[in-house]
Amino acid sequence: MKNETVNIRNDQGKVLYTTMARSTKEAVEKAVKDGVSLESACLEGTDMIGANLAGAKLGGANLKNADFTRSNLSGAKWSFADLSGANLTGADLSNCTLNNATLDYANFEQSYS
């Protein structure tokens, strides 16, 4: 797959981060590695399987139905994020902050902290 410009936006369409990447997953991983805050990002339905998002700042983000299966989410800040229907099967949730996050129908099977 070829690198393309990927914009990570919020629900209002404002660009939060732009990079060259092969996928949204890769762009989000780069943003996290660069220390960029993705608070209020719209990542609804995104395939994030196996992603390394340790320390991610995703407070208030729209993560509905996103798939974080086997992802490293340790130390991530998810306060006020909407994780409705998200799949977190086997994810590392150690030291995560989920204060006031919406977790309706989220799957935490075999996740650990």
| Residue 66 forms part of a structural domain | no
Q: What pLDDT score was predicted for residue 66?
A: 98
| Residue 12 forms part of a structural domain | yes
| Residue 98 forms part of a structural domain | no
Q: Which amino acid is at 71?
A: S
Task: Give phi and psi for 27, each to the nearest 5.
Answer: -65, -40
| Residue 20 forms part of a structural domain | yes
CA distance 23 to 30: 11
| Residue 106 forms part of a structural domain | no
Contact indicator for 64, 86 with CB cutoff of 8 Å: yes
pTM of the model: 0.95
| Residue 18 forms part of a structural domain | yes
| Residue 72 forms part of a structural domain | no
Over the stretch 25-80, which tens digit does the pLDDT of each residue have? Answer: 999 999 999 999 999 999 999 999 999 999 999 999 999 999 999 999 999 999 99
Contact indicator for 73, 50 with CB cutoff of 8 Å: no
| Residue 96 forms part of a structural domain | no
Over the stretch 44-59, which tens digit does the pLDDT of each residue have? Answer: 999 999 999 999 999 9
Q: What pLDDT score was predicted for residue 1?
A: 75
Contact indicator for 31, 54 with CB cutoff of 8 Å: no
Q: What pLDDT score was predicted for residue 95?
A: 97
> Domain total for the chain?
1
Q: Which domain holds residue 10?
A: 4-33
Q: What pLDDT score was predicted for residue 15?
A: 98
> What average pLDDT does the segment 90-95 reach?
98
